[in-house]
Amino acid sequence: LEKGYSCWLQYNKITDSKLIEEYLPYCLSLSFTEDSPIVRSAVEELADGVKSMLDKEPTIYNYFSNDASIILGTYESINLSDYELSSDLFEKLNDESYVLKSVNKEGNNKILLVGKSDKGILYGAYHLLRLIQTRKSVNSLDLVESPRNQIRIINQWDNMDGSVERGYSGNSIFYDNNQFTNDLYRIKDYARLLASVGINAISINNVNVWEIETNLITSKFLPEVQKVADIFRSYGIQTLLSINYASPIEIGNLTTADPLDEGVQQWWAEKVKEIYSYIPDFGGFVVKADSEHRPGPFSYDRDHAEGANVLAKALQPYNGIVVWRCFVYNCLQDWRDRTTDRARAAYDNFKPLDGKFLDNVILQVKNGPMDFQVKEPVSPLFGAMEKTNQMMEFQVAQEYTGQQKDLCYLVPQWKEYFDFDTHAKGEGSTVKTIVDGSMYNYRYSGVAAVSNIGNDINWTGNTLAQANFYGYGRLIWDPELGAEEIAEEWVQSTFGNDPLVVETIKGMLLDSWNIYENYTAPLGVGWMINPSHHYGPNVDGYEYDVWGTYHFSDRDGVGVDRTVETGTGYTNQYFSPNAEIYNSLENCPDEFLLFYHHVPYTHQLKSGETVIQYIYNTHFKGVEQVKDLIDRWNKLDGKIDDYRFNNVAERLQLQLKNAVEWRDKINTYYFRKSGISDDQNRTIY
C-alpha cells in the first residue's frame, strides 16, 4: 500500500555497491546556512531521502560547516568565491533559481546547493534527490536551474462535502462533511509532491463555489484555511481561494454585487483585509464568473474587466492577484443558430477588453476553445491580448480522456499546445513564449491545471495517472523537456530502474494518447461522450442539447463548418497563416479536419483514406492497441509490487471494455448514417 502512496518520492534503497560508493561520500552530512520553514522542509526531505536510499542518517549542522558534504544556503549566506561562483550569476536569476555543483575541497567530495532564495534551495534539494533516484552521476554537477513559468498553479475542484468535481481518485483530501479534514499529514504529503515538481501555488476549492464554500472567506473557515496555507507555505506554495462573485449578497448582506457599486467595492476591500490578517501571503482569488450559470458582472450590465477590477483593486495593496477564467460561453444554444459557436466564445468575450484589466488580473484560458477534449486546436486567445496577463489552463484530471480508468499520458498533448506557433508576432510566436510572459512582457503569467488527485491511497486512482501530475509540474517548470524524458524520470522514480520496467511503462505512456484518440471521437471533432459524467461513448449525447457541442453528422457527412465563407467564421480568430490554413479544406491538417470543416464521408484524407474508412480503421485499431497495452503490462508481473500491478491491470481491463464499446457504437453509428461498408468487412453491428 505504502508504495502507491509515495508516488515518485519512493526513495528506494540502493543495493548496487558501485552506486553507493559514488553517492555516499556526498551524503554523509549536511550544513545549512540559512534558516526558514522552507529550508527546514528541504533539509528534512534530503535527510529522509538519503536515509531511505543509502541507509545513512546524515549529520546535520544548522550553521556553516566545512566538514559537511552537502552545503546548502542562499547565495547571500554562502561564501561563493570559495567555490568559484560569483553573485553576478545569481543577480540575473529569478527568486526560485538554484545552482547545484559538485566540488572537491581538500580531497573531500561535496555538493553545493545554492538557492537565490529559500525556495530555490527547496527545488534544488528535490533535484538532487531526483538525480539519485534516477541513478545519475553526481560527480560533476554544474547546474543552474530556473523555472520558465512564473505562476505554476494547481486548481483543486474540491467541494466541502468531500466530493471532487471531475474527481476520479476518491474524495477530497481537504474536506469532509462540510468541514476541513483533520488529516494535515496528507496535506503535507501533497505539498511535498507538489513542491518536488515545482508547483508554487494552489487554489483549494472548486471553481464552482456553492453555498457552503462561499463561506471560506469568512471567519467561520479562515482559521482552517490558515492552517492549510501554513503547510503549503513551508513548501513554497501560495494558497488561493475560488470565490463566489455574488459573495457581497450572499455573505455580506448587500443587495447587489455590482462591481461599480461603492458599497460593493468597500465590502471587497474589507473582506480582503480580513483574509490577509489570517494569511499574510495569501495568493488571491480564482473566479469563474458568468460561466455555466455562475453569477458574474453580466447581471449588472458590466463587462469582465469591470468585474475583475473590483477584486483586483482590493487585492492590490497586498500583492494579491485575480485569476479570472475565460471559460465563458452561451450554454443555452439553439443548433439552428449557426452564427453562435462555442469555440468562438472566449475570444469574442475577452479580446475586445484587452488593456482594460488592472495589472494584477491574469486571465486563465483553457488550452483549447472548447473543453479539454482529446484533440482540439489551441485557443486563439493566446497571442491575441498583448496588454492583458494570460495564463494557460490544462486539465490533469482526465475528464474527457478516460477518467483515470483509461491510460492517457497527456504530456505530449500539452507539449503540442506549448509548441504551437501562433504567429502573433511573426514566425516563432509560440504559445510557450506567450504564457511564460516573455513575448508581451506580462507582469504575471504562467500555467494552471485542474488537479487529478483525491484520497485514494495512490492519489490518482490509476497509478499510471500519477505520471500526468508529475509531468504537469516538470513540463511547466521547463517546457523544453521532452515527453519521453519526463516519462522516463517518472517511471524510474516511481517503479525503480529495471530496464524492462522502465522501457515498458515509458512506451505504454507515450503511445497512450494516440490510442485513446483512435477509439474515441475522430479527427478533432470532440465530444460524443455520455452527457453529464462524460465517460464512454454516446455519439448524439450532446448533439440535441444546448451546450454548443455539435458534430452535425447526417446522412451526407460530418463535422462543424467553422470557415469564414460558409461557417461560423471561427478560423478568422487566428493570426495569418494559421487562419488561412485552417480555413482551407485542402490545407487544414487532418487531425483537426472535422473541427473546422463539414465533409462528406467519402472525403479523402491526406493519407488517401476516406473519412468513413478512417473512422472504421482507427476504431478497430484502437481496441487492438488496448489489448497490446494489456500484454505489455502483463510482462511486468512479478517485477512490480502486487498493489500497483493489480491496480493498473484492473484499469486496463476497464479500458478494454470502454474501447470495445466506443468502437462498436461509433462504427455502427457511422455505418448506418453513411450506408458505406467497411472495406475489410469487419464486424459492424
Please report whether residue 208 would count as binding ligand GCU according to CB under 6 A: yes
- The answer to whether 591 is a known catalytic residue is no
Cβ atoms of 226 and 274 within 8 Å: the answer is no
The one among 35, 76, 161, 165 contacting ligand GCU by CB under 6 A: 165
Measure the CA–CA gap between 8 and 496, rounded to whole angstroms. 10
Task: Report the nearest approach of ligand GCU to the CB of residue 629 (Å).
Answer: 27
What mask, x for binding ligand GCU by CB under 6 A, covers residues 388 to 417? -----------x------------------
The one among 116, 152, 166, 415 contacting ligand GCU by CB under 6 A: 166
Give whichever of 98 and 394 is closer to ligand GCU, judged by the CB atom: 394
Instruction: Identify residue 89 by its one-letter amino acid code.
Output: L
Q: Is the peptide bond before 577 cis (omega within 30 degrees of 0)?
A: yes
Phi, psi of 365 (to 5 degrees): -110, 130
Task: Report the nearest approach of ligand GCU to the CB of residue 537 (Å).
Answer: 17
Task: Report the nearest approach of ligand GCU to the CB of residue 522 (Å).
Answer: 21
Measure the CA–CA gap between 151 and 153, rounded to whole angstroms. 6
- The answer to whether 292 is a known catalytic residue is yes
Task: Report the nearest approach of ligand GCU to the CB of residue 105 (Å).
Answer: 53
Q: Supply the angle between the helices 483-495 and 118-133 in degrees, to the nearest 10.
A: 70
Residue count of the chain:
685
Measure the CA–CA gap between 394 and 270, rounded to whole angstroms. 33
Cβ atoms of 378 and 420 within 8 Å: the answer is yes
Please report whether residue 371 would count as binding ligand GCU according to CB under 6 A: yes
Give whichever of 24 and 212 is closer to ligand GCU, judged by the CB atom: 212
Give whichever of 405 and 598 is closer to ligand GCU, judged by the CB atom: 405
Task: Report the nearest approach of ligand GCU to the CB of residue 614 (Å).
Answer: 28
Task: Report the nearest approach of ligand GCU to the CB of residue 367 (Å).
Answer: 12
Please report whether residue 327 would count as binding ligand GCU according to CB under 6 A: yes
The one among 194, 207, 279, 652 contacting ligand GCU by CB under 6 A: 207
Q: Supply the angle between the helices 411-419 and 483-495 in degrees, to the nearest 10.
A: 150
Q: Which residue has the cell 455502427?
A: 668
Contact set for ligand GCU, span 507-536 (CB under 6 A): none
Measure the CA–CA gap between 353 and 306, rounded to whole angstroms. 10
Give whichever of 324 and 616 is closer to ligand GCU, judged by the CB atom: 324
Q: Is 545 helix (H, G, I), strand (E, B) or coil?
A: coil
Please report whether residue 288 would count as binding ligand GCU according to CB under 6 A: yes
What mask, x for binding ligand GCU by CB under 6 A, covers residues 66 to 105? ----------------------------------------
Task: Report the nearest approach of ligand GCU to the CB of residue 370 (Å).
Answer: 9
Q: Is 460 helix (H, G, I), strand (E, B) or coil?
A: coil
Active-site residue (options: 67, 82, 142, 292): 292
Number of residues binding to ligand GCU, judged by CB under 6 A: 8
Instruction: Identify residue 67 by its one-letter amino acid code.
Output: D
Phi, psi of 427 (to 5 degrees): -60, 145
Give whichever of 187 and 397 is closer to ligand GCU, judged by the CB atom: 397
Give whichever of 216 and 648 is closer to ligand GCU, judged by the CB atom: 216
Burial of 566 (0-12, 13-18, 19+ CB in 10 A): exposed
Cβ atoms of 113 and 121 within 8 Å: the answer is yes
Q: Is 138 helix (H, G, I), strand (E, B) or coil?
A: coil
Active-site residue (options: 118, 290, 393, 399): 399
Give the DSSP letter string of 89-115: HHHTS-TT-EEEEEEEETTEEEEEEEE
Give whichever of 157 and 490 is closer to ligand GCU, judged by the CB atom: 157
Q: Which residue numbers are catalytic?
A: 292, 371, 399
- Which residues make up the interface to ligand GCU (CB under 6 A)? 165-166, 207-208, 288, 327, 371, 399
